[in-house]
Structure 1
Amino acid sequence: MGVVRIGQTEVAFELRRSAAASERRITVTPGHVEVLVLTTDDDAEIDAFLTRKRQWLFNTLRELEAVVTKRAVVPRFMTGSKIPYRGRMAKLTVRRHDGPHIEIAFKNGFVVDLPTWVRGEDQDGIVATEIKLWLKRRVRRDVMEIAAAYRRRFDLKPRTIRVADMKTGWGACGPTGAILINWTLVFAPKAVLEYVVAHELVHLKVRSHGPDFWAALAEIMPAYHRAKAWLDLNQGALDDDFLTSAQGRRRVW
């Protein structure tokens, strides 16, 4: 641990060297400061970097303290909050960094890095928006990978397949073979998402929900019953109310 003095205040920080880093960086979360430096940096270069960033660090720490104090009663999109993802609640960590862009990653939980230009009063909305965009990108990737695997194995070829906001239902297969998948399935276990994709792919061959349909689904996904049971039980909880205004509950098929 190192210490940087800002006026009468001493700020402890964790120093981390990285051979992969191309530039130095400071990341701040409530109660923790990390300084990332290059492996070639000596003490003088590190001290000079911290001196240049001293005012930024002071302002960021003061802003984070104000945000934490203001939201201590009802925490939302701040460090320690929980975000539903693939059937479990993932921890959220919101950090401040000295880079120019908002960055988001998933590493045993969501990590959102916010630059200086994000004001404290705007944090909730910005973090919610970034997480929603990340979730939509991830579920699109998953759906395309699942559909590609079933196309190769079972020759099920939709005309198009698209992930979308759906007010009702988890998926749809149009008369021309265009398939829609509800993006909020990203909140369910991945096996449930696979079940919905497989369900709609089978409709390319069997349009109804009669015995022939369920037999065809069992051929390509023998364990679909478990995923269907999970969805039947938990469908009311799979919505984006925590990110946007309430839109009501969805029903499966």
Structure 2
Amino acid sequence: MGVVRIGQTEVAYELRRSATASERRITVTPGHVEVLALTTDDEAEIDAFLTRKRQWLFNTLRELEARTAKRAVVPRFMTGSKIPYRGRMARLTVRRHDGPHVEIDYRNGFLVDLPSWVRDEDLDGIVATEIKLWLKRRVRRDVMEIAAAYRKRFDLKPRTIRVADMKTGWGSCGPTGAVLINWTLVLAPKAVLEYVVAHELAHLKVRSHGPEFWAYLATLMPDHERPKGWLDKHQGSLDPGFLQFAPAVPSDCKGRPSKRTLRPT
């Protein structure tokens, strides 16, 4: 654990070294700062990097603190509650039906039909779990459709492409061409999801984040700066923590804290 001083404030950080990273990176989540360094970096190089990024780190910590305080909160999963989805707040309607299964649909808002066997005290947990599963299925479908379109237009063929729970970052492209996309991007506008998918697919051709990369990305998605700007501005609000209220039904997913990453992977 290291410490960087910013004025009178000391910020503790966790140092992680990577043999595959092409550049240094800082990732900030509430209560945690991670510094990714190259395996060849010595202490002086890491200190110099942190010195250059002190102002960014200070601003980002303050910004995340403010955004976390203002993030969307769903007090209960009941009719009238608001669920973040694709960059806006969608109304939730919870109904009872005489079928045997929980059914969920989206028609200008979320419609959840609960069978009679769901007890009132279990309602919040079951609705939260079902919405989370629905969102993950939807974003998987969207990612596969976007990737298929880029494969057809630009012959970009990742070895695999998966949607996953990622503690940090919005996406990654491994050295073998395996692409991962963070499922919580379903909370952002669809153009932002497309930007992240295109960003990672671009790494199949250009591994770094230098001028060559951004020029190539512009050929894939000419208007990428607009969704990139949205993500830079709003990424702290893309927090699935509102779905953590699920005491009655265990979830197989862990809520990822809001974050700010210096550079996408």
Does TM, normalized by the shorter one, top 0.5? yes
Post-superposition offset of 1:247: 3.9
Contact 1:80/1:92 (CA < 8 Å) preserved in 2?
A: yes
Partner SS for 1:232: helix
Contact 2:166/2:256 (CA < 8 Å) preserved in 1?
A: no
Partner SS for 1:242: helix
Cα separation, partners in 2 of 1:226 and 1:104, compared to 1, 3 Å: same
Structure 1 residue 171 corresponds to structure 2 residue 171: yes
Post-superposition offset of 1:105: 0.2
Supply the AA of the counterpart residue of 1:211.
Answer: P
How far apart in 2 are the matches of 1:247 and 1:208? 26
Post-superposition offset of 1:76: 1.1
Equivalenced residue count is 180
How far apart in 2 are the matches of 1:75 and 1:145? 34
Q: Which residue of 2 aligns with 1:232?
A: 232
Q: Which residue of 2 aligns with 1:251?
A: 260
Supply the AA of the counterpart residue of 2:172.
Answer: A
Cα separation, partners in 2 of 1:247 and 1:197, compared to 1, 3 Å: closer
Q: Which residue of 1 aligns with 2:136?
A: 136
Structure 1 residue 204 corresponds to structure 2 residue 211: no
How far apart in 2 are the matches of 1:199 and 1:213? 9
Supply the AA of the counterpart residue of 1:108.
Answer: N
Contact 1:170/1:251 (CA < 8 Å) preserved in 2?
A: no
Task: Determine what percentage of the aligned residue pairs are the same residue.
Answer: 79
Post-superposition offset of 1:251: 2.8
Cα separation, partners in 2 of 1:247 and 1:200, compared to 1, 3 Å: closer
How far apart in 1 are the matches of 2:257 and 2:111? 29
Q: Which residue of 2 aligns with 1:104?
A: 104
What is the alpha-carbon root mean square deviation over aligned residues? 1.2
Structure 1 residue 155 corresponds to structure 2 residue 118: no
Q: Which residue of 2 aligns with 1:117?
A: 117
Supply the AA of the counterpart residue of 1:251.
Answer: R
Supply the AA of the counterpart residue of 1:249.
Answer: S
Supply the AA of the counterpart residue of 1:232.
Answer: D
1:175-222 superposed Cα distances (whole Å, 9 cap, x missing partner): 000000000000000000000000000000100000000000000100
Does 1 or 2 have the higher relative contact order (CA < 8 Å, sep 6+)?
A: 2
Q: Which residue of 2 aligns with 1:146?
A: 146
Cα separation, partners in 2 of 1:223 and 1:107, compared to 1, 3 Å: same
Structure 1 residue 242 corresponds to structure 2 residue 251: no
How far apart in 2 are the matches of 1:226 and 1:87? 14
Q: Rg bigger for which structure?
A: 1
Post-superposition offset of 1:248: 2.5
Give the 5 Å matches for 1:54-93. Answer: 75-93=75-93
How far apart in 2 are the matches of 1:232 and 1:239? 14
1:91-127 superposed Cα distances (whole Å, 9 cap, x missing partner): 0000011111100000100000000111001111100
Contact 2:98/2:116 (CA < 8 Å) preserved in 1?
A: yes
